[in-house]
């Protein structure tokens, strides 16, 4: 499984390409669904839909007990029989905990609905509760496919399952207009998603026998990471949970719509991080810390170069974006959108991968517990004083603090300076140039104030900002070309860079 440096880089690039294309198509599909849902559903119904996904997001993290990430350690063993044994044990654990989770939410659906003061939520939770087993298995299978570099198959499964989900949602809303049918659509898409991932798994993995000792080891190893995962997820969902409890259901709809990260910019991050996680595990197991640092330093600058200019431009035009994209009825979401999307500036590296690889799951758990409590207090105080905008402020502050603490701990593990993974001077130059040019576009747009002028300014801005960044050598053109030459999702950018 060892690769030399050149082969390893090519392998990573090709895998990012396939996964990136899949994420791009899924992001496009989901992008088109957001304005549809905003206009097709009443705000109370959209809130119920969001609350169902929120509850099951929490349960999925809790009842997968971290196995989709920990399975990489079991598969990293060169003994094929041990790999297969870990696979069978993981599937058994997913089934066991999935059933337990299903029973829990089925019988607690009404208390949860009452807690959120949303009577319509109970029936949707009962229907969708049966999806927990399938959602957990899908996460496990996806992680395994990624480990074995079957990203073409993984991307195909993700694209098809997402298209099925969107199609079923559209039919349930358009032809039935009932919340329970939305829940049935989500359940059916979860089942089909598991099947699509299952058919691509290597057949050899099913030859092992179930070993109870391996199951117990996975449970005891995974519980700290699973608890850390649930606390981490709760940190992300604290704002939504507390708004659901403290404010009217309609306010949750406004918050959920505004707290959606800007479409497309997470796909670059998620594609690269998904691929680099197993690489980090391999490098760490061999003690190749410099390789980890180089991998992160290179990818973080490239992600910032590709994403920061567009993020800054859209944040400067946040009100226009919300109005045109979500519809004027969701204008109360605009400041939530502005505040919440500052988190995207953090999304240039994975802050947990090295700590997971080094077995620091207990540290992650206690760290997240502390910030979870702090997030609860901060959300409660700010929601009381500032409403949904207060929740966005609280969450954004907490996310930045968590990233700082995790980065500090990671640097200690690898024995480097805290910000050694970043080229800070170049990051600040990208940020500063993008901000100045975006403000100039805001002033120009004030004279025209139309969608057409905004689109023209956006195209002009992107051309100029990338020319400036390359002209002032903020980013090495050769390095960007080298990094993107095998990535089809960046084909247009790569062609543009070669011509200038």
Buried b / exposed e along 6-30 (16+ C-beta atoms within 10 A)? eebbeebbbbbbbbbbbbbbbbeee
Model pLDDT, residue 89: 87
Q: Structural domain boundaries of the chain?
A: 5-422, 423-500
Tell the residue number behind the tokens 């999304």, with chain if given.
347
Question: What token pair was written down for 391?
Answer: 């929740």
Q: What is the pLDDT along the chain (500 residues), one digit of tens a residue?
A: 333 334 344 355 555 555 555 555 666 666 677 778 888 888 888 888 888 988 888 888 888 877 887 776 667 666 777 778 888 888 898 899 999 999 999 999 999 999 888 888 899 999 999 999 999 999 888 888 877 777 778 878 888 888 888 899 889 888 887 888 989 999 999 999 899 888 888 777 787 788 788 888 888 877 776 776 777 778 888 888 899 889 988 898 899 888 877 656 666 666 666 666 677 777 877 788 888 888 888 778 888 888 899 999 999 999 998 888 888 888 999 999 999 999 889 888 888 888 877 878 778 778 888 998 999 999 999 999 999 999 999 999 999 999 999 999 988 888 888 888 888 888 999 999 999 999 999 999 988 888 898 999 999 999 999 888 888 878 777 666 655 555 555 556 666 666 66
Determine the Cα angle at 439 with ends 434 and 445, to 5°. 125
Asked whether the beta carbons of 296 and 354 are under 8 A apart, the reply is no
Give dist(CA 40, CA 172) in Å, integer.
Answer: 11
Give the pTM: 0.72
Instruction: Provide, rounded to the nearest whole percent, the portion of the chain with pLDDT above 90.
Output: 27
Dump pLDDT digits (tens) for 385-406. Answer: 999 999 999 999 999 999 999 9
Closest CA to 46 of 37, 54, 55: 37
For 238-285, give the DSSP string.
Answer: HHHHHHHHHS-HHHHHHHHHHTSPPTTHHHHHHHHHHHHHHHHHHHHH
Asked whether the beta carbons of 270 and 20 are under 8 A apart, the reply is no
Closest CA to 279 of 341, 340, 354, 385: 354
């Amino acid at each position: 499984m060892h690769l030399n440096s050149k082969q390893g880089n090519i392998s990573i690039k090709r895998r990012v390409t396939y996964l990136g294309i899949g994420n791009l198509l899924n992001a496009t599909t989901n992008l088109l669904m957001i304005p549809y849902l905003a206009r097709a559903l009443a705000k109370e119904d959209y809130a119920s839909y969001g609350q169902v996904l929120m509850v099951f997001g929490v349960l999925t993290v809790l009842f997968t007990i971290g196995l989709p990430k920990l399975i990489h350690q079991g598969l990293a063993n060169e003994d094929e029989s041990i790999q297969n044994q870990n696979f069978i044990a993981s599937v058994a654990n997913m089934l066991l905990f999935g059933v337990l989770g299903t029973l829990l939410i089925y019988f607690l659906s009404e208390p949860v609905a009452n807690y959120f003061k949303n009577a319509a939520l109970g029936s949707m939770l009962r229907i969708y509760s049966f999806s927990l087993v399938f959602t957990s298995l899908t996460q496990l299978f996806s992680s395994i496919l990624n480990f074995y570099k079957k990203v073409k198959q993984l991307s195909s499964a993700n694209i098809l399952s997402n298209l099925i989900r969107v199609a079923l949602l559209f039919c349930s809303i358009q032809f039935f207009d009932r919340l329970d049918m939305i829940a049935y659509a989500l359940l059916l898409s979860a089942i089909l998603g598991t099947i699509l991932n299952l058919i691509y798994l290597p057949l050899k993995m099913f030859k092992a026998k179930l070993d109870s000792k391996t199951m117990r080891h996975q449970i005891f190893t995974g519980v700290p990471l699973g608890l850390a995962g649930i606390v981490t997820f709760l940190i992300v969902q604290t704002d939504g949970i507390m708004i659901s409890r403290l404010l009217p259901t309609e306010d949750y709809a406004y918050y959920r719509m505004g707290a959606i990260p800007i479409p497309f910019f997470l796909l670059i991050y998620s594609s690269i991080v998904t691929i680099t996680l197993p690489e980090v595990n391999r490098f760490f197991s061999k003690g190749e810390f410099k390789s980890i640092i180089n991998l992160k330093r290179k990818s973080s600058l490239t992600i910032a170069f590709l994403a920061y200019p567009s993020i800054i431009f859209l944040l400067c035009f946040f009100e226009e974006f919300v109005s045109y994209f979500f519809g004027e009825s969701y204008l109360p979401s605009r400041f939530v959108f502005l505040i919440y999307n500052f988190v995207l500036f953090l999304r240039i590296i994975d802050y947990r991968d090295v700590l997971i690889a080094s077995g620091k799951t207990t540290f992650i758990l206690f760290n997240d517990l502390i910030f979870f409590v702090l997030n609860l207090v901060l959300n409660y105080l700010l929601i009381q004083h500032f409403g949904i905008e207060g929740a966005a402020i609280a969450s954004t502050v907490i996310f930045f603090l968590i990233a700082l603490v995790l980065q500090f701990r990671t640097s200690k593990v690898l024995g480097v300076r805290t910000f050694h993974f970043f080229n800070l001077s170049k990051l600040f130059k990208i940020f500063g140039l993008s901000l100045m040019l975006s403000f100039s576009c805001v002033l120009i747009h004030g004279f025209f104030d139309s969608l057409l002028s905004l689109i023209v300014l956006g195209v002009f801005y992107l051309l100029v900002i990338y020319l400036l960044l390359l002209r002032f050598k903020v980013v090495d053109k050769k390095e960007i070309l080298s990094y993107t030459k095998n990535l089809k999702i960046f084909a247009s950018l790569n062609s543009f860079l070669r011509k200038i």
